[in-house]
Amino acid sequence: MVCFRLFPVPGSGLVLVCLVLGAVRSYALELNLTDSENATCLYAKWQMNFTVRYETTNKTYKTVTISDHGTVTYNGSICGDDQNGPKIAVQFGPGFSWIANFTKAASTYSIDSVSFSYNTGDNTTFPDAEDKGILTVDELLAIRIPLNDLFRCNSLSTLEKNDVVQHYWDVLVQAFVQNGTVSTNEFLCDKDKTSTVAPTIHTTVPSPTTTPTPKEKPEAGTYSVNNGNDTCLLATMGLQLNITQDKVASVININPNTTHSTGSCRSHTALLRLNSSTIKYLDFVFAVKNENRFYLKEVNISMYLVNGSVFSIANNNLSYWDAPLGSSYMCNKEQTVSVSGAFQINTFDLRVQPFNVTQGKYSTDGVSLCCPGLGVYSGVISAHCNLRLPAQDCSADDDNFLVPIAVGAALAGVLILVLLAYFIGLKHHHAGYEQF
């Protein structure tokens, strides 16, 4: 027996599944598979979409994104037996299907493989396709998970093969469920683990063939993420996207008035997701390191370009916007986040706090606070009295202080030299009188 529910993507609003599924671009799939005794044997909840590149009858190529699954069925999903392992089988839209296979070892189980099938004979989805028929892409995964653990991967995972790009995120799955109860022990994917690999900064940016027309400074917008009734993430920033595709560079300013924000907050990770009519998602993923600092670890984007193509990039190995936990990171000057050689983000008037937001405000609001025995500080925190941390300024803003400091030091040096020359001259003058 198969039970399933469809949930809208956060921020898309409430959806009446039976009436307006077609109005939602992407939503989570949830499957609760039960055995003959009505006990859960496999549980899964995940989001996915697909981008397919195909050749047309006039020998050009088009790209189509499949994200609206429409009516979904799970025919062929099984718990597994001695001969066959568990399997999730999903059918959706005009001729699309997706299968995930699982295998079991002594103390682990594996997400063994996934396959995606699509029908280029569907003229609505693949207009003017040169080759018509059902095509299948198989991917071997071999993701090993301890038995009786729930596998979680909130990060964006991308598979690319044979002109098909598969995107998965917000994944929860457990095969071989014990005693009909889904485990509370979670096994995280490598991308969700924040302490195993030291992040690196990618700074190599190839020069595009065409130079984009410079754009004016983007308008700064304020974005937030709520956890229940409380705000758990705050961000204020102007965003400018630099995209290079097919050797053509473009600059796009994000309009905060038409951009919506959603996301999630957890103890060691936080997600800010922006979307608009052209941006399917622009994700900023923050992580905690060393239990006392946070940083921007990951950026994912998928958006429609002017030519109708879909631009998608993901990088989960970044290291930007580093600041102490309990504080906010701030940078008023222009700063560049290099996601890849083809995609960079320029930020302006940036301030972000992904953790420990209290009362819906940044950690410092210009308030002078006093901690007994430590004196008076302006926005300084003490672990003993839980005061607020100041905002962590970026190095670009720190450079602003170097010029006045250097000028002041130079003027002070000149003043000292003038005073020394004056006293030396005065001394020689008095000595001349005494000799006379």
Band (pLDDT 50/70/90 cuts) for residue 411 is confident
Distance (Å, whole) CA 413 – CA 104: 76
Mean pLDDT estimate for the chain: 79
The model's pLDDT over 252-301, given as tens digits with 9 standing for 90+, comes to 999 999 999 999 998 899 999 999 888 999 999 999 999 999 999 999 99
| Helix (H), strand (E) at residue 433 | helix 395-435
The model's pLDDT over 348-392, given as tens digits with 9 standing for 90+, comes to 999 999 999 998 999 874 333 333 333 333 333 333 333 444 566
pTM of the model: 0.45
Distance set, CA 10 to CA 15, 271, 330 (Å): 11, 12, 27
pLDDT of residue 11: 37
The model's pLDDT over 136-189, given as tens digits with 9 standing for 90+, comes to 999 999 899 999 999 999 888 888 888 898 989 889 999 999 999 999 999 999
Cα–chain center distance at 47: 15
Distance (Å, whole) CA 287 – CA 295: 6
Strand ranges inside 147-213, DSSP E: 150-153, 157-161, 164-175, 186-188
* Tokens coding 176: 């071989």
Contact 12, 20 (CB under 8 A): no
14 pLDDT more than 80:
no
φ, ψ of residue 415 to 5 degrees: the values are -60, -40
Helices (H) and strands (E) in the chain, counts: 2, 28
What is the share, in percent, of the chain residues with pLDDT greater than 90? 50
